[in-house]
């Protein structure tokens, strides 16, 4: 149901409408670029905080790399920072949004949202276990001995969840950019025999 | 940019177009209803498998309720099963899709996808830790002692990820249902002064 019919839009037919429309589009493009640069900065922050996270004391030495969840958080934030920068650059270029491009953005934004959400979640779970412990399966409360380590890991995790929020919004935006190119399904009120097509024209 | 202009669709203008369109819509509604009933069945399976999961041996007794992650998995699957059933019933009713309804489905599908994804993720992390252990922070390999428990927890987690896949597809569907009601952004090829509006009419 892709919209194949092309024609002049009502806005374009108006004299100054084209310029106004151009302004709106430039503003939207700038907004989306910024919305992609913000998570990039956040990802790099979360990554750096976690990378520097290690603590040595009388109980021993603990580094982020000792825990699979935190290694995953670092990798996920690295990938997300790279994708955010790349996508920001592509969005910033004033090119028309084609169907394959809209699908690519939609799918990659969805995947990145899931990746960064799982990274934040596993880190939260490990932090929860490390601070509460689990007596039944004799897991100790590591945060009692390594308070500083847990505190910095918590900061990194909170920043990661800020990235999740940015990506949830970006997912919404790329869904809109993709699916608004498609026709709306025709609505029917059953039993009344009235068909109402919600289309623009 | 909501489409406010209503009019007859080209399909409705054709003689038999209305009936064909009605068939397509009925098929789509049936498909969506089934797509919502499948995760309901999966959620109930994952929930039952986890609820019955406890093991007692020489090392002690271990139940799903001893681990926060598995309690969360049970709750998430319960909520997801309830929502799936409710949404399947609503979708099955031949009512026209209004804007608030499309937004509600879109937002709730997104939230449920995130909830069920995090439930699967934390359970995976706990299973990973329970099978591998972590020597640095002296967490024991609980799965060595409680193999049966870990095996059933793994089954429940795998089923939960099947629910995640269903919900990722449902998210896509509800995004389409929502955003196809909106106008497509007008495209401009910069430097050429040609405006092409991808709208239907």
Q: What is the pLDDT of residues A84-96, one digit of tens each?
A: 999 999 998 877 7
CA distances from A150 to A142, B96, B139, B152 (A): 8, 52, 16, 31
Mean pLDDT of the residues in chain A: 82
Estimate to the nearest angstrom the gap between the alpha carbon of B69 and the chain centroid. 19
The residue of chain A nearest to residue B60, with distances taken between CA atoms, is: A136
Mean pLDDT score, B67-83: 95
Q: Is the pLDDT of residue A29 over 70?
A: yes
Statement: residue A111 has pLDDT above 90: yes
- Within 10 A of A141 (CB to CB), how many other CB atoms are there? 16
Q: Within an 8 Å CB–CB cutoff, is residue A54 touching chain B? A: no
- The per-residue pLDDT for range B101-113, each reduced to its tens digit, is 999 999 999 999 9
B26, pLDDT greater than 90? no
B136 has a chain A CB within 8 A of its CB: yes
> Which of A11, A186, A190, A192 is the mutation pick for testing B, counting most B CBs within 10 A?
A186
pLDDT average, residue stretch B152-167? 96
| Chain A residues with beta carbon closer than 8 angstroms to that of B201 | 5, 7, 199-201
Q: What are A151-165's pLDDT values in tens digits? A: 999 999 999 999 999
Q: Which pLDDT does position B120 carry in this prediction?
A: 96
Q: Which residue has better confidence, B93 or A40?
A: A40
Sign of the alpha-carbon dihedral angle for A38, B109, A99, B7 = negative
Q: What pLDDT, on a 0 to 100 scale, did the predictor assign at position A192?
A: 40
Q: In the predicted model, is pLDDT for residue B24 greater than 60?
A: yes
Percentages helix, strand, coil for chain B (3-state, rounded to 5) are 70, 10, 20
**Confidence grade of residue B137 (pLDDT, cut at 50, 70, 90):** confident
| Residue A185's pLDDT band (cuts 50, 70, 90) | low
Q: What is the pLDDT of residues A54-82, one digit of tens each?
A: 898 888 888 898 888 999 999 999 999 99
- What SS3 state is found at A200? coil
Task: List chain B residues with CB under 8 Å of A179.
Answer: 175-176, 178-180, 182
pTM: 0.81
In this prediction, residues B44-55 reach a mean pLDDT of 93
pLDDT tens sequence across B178-201:
998 887 654 444 444 344 444 443
pLDDT at B184: 63
pLDDT at A135 over 70: yes
The answer on pLDDT for B2 being more than 50 is no
């Amino acid at each position: 149901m892709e919209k194949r019919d092309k024609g002049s839009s009502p806005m374009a037919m108006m004299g100054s409408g084209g310029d106004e429309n151009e302004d709106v589009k430039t503003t939207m493009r700038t907004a989306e670029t910024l919305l992609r640069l913000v998570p990039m900065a956040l990802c790099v922050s979360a990554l750096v905080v976690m990378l520097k996270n290690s603590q040595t004391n009388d109980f021993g030495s603990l580094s982020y790399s000792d825990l699979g969840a935190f290694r995953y958080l670092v990798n996920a934030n690295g990938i997300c920072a790279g994708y955010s920068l790349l996508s920001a650059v592509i969005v910033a270029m004033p090119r028309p949004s084609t169907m394959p491009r809209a699908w690519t953005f939609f799918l990659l934004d969805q995947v990145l949202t899931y990746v960064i959400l799982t990274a934040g979640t596993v880190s939260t779970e490990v932090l929860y276990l490390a601070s509460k412990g689990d007596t039944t399966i004799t897991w100790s409360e590591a945060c009692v001995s390594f308070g500083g380590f847990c505190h910095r890991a918590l900061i990194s995790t909170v920043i990661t969840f800020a990235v999740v929020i940015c990506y949830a919004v970006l997912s919404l935006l790329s869904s809109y950019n993709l699916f608004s190119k498609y026709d709306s399904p025709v609505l029917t009120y059953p039993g009344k025999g009235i068909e109402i097509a919600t289309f623009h024209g």
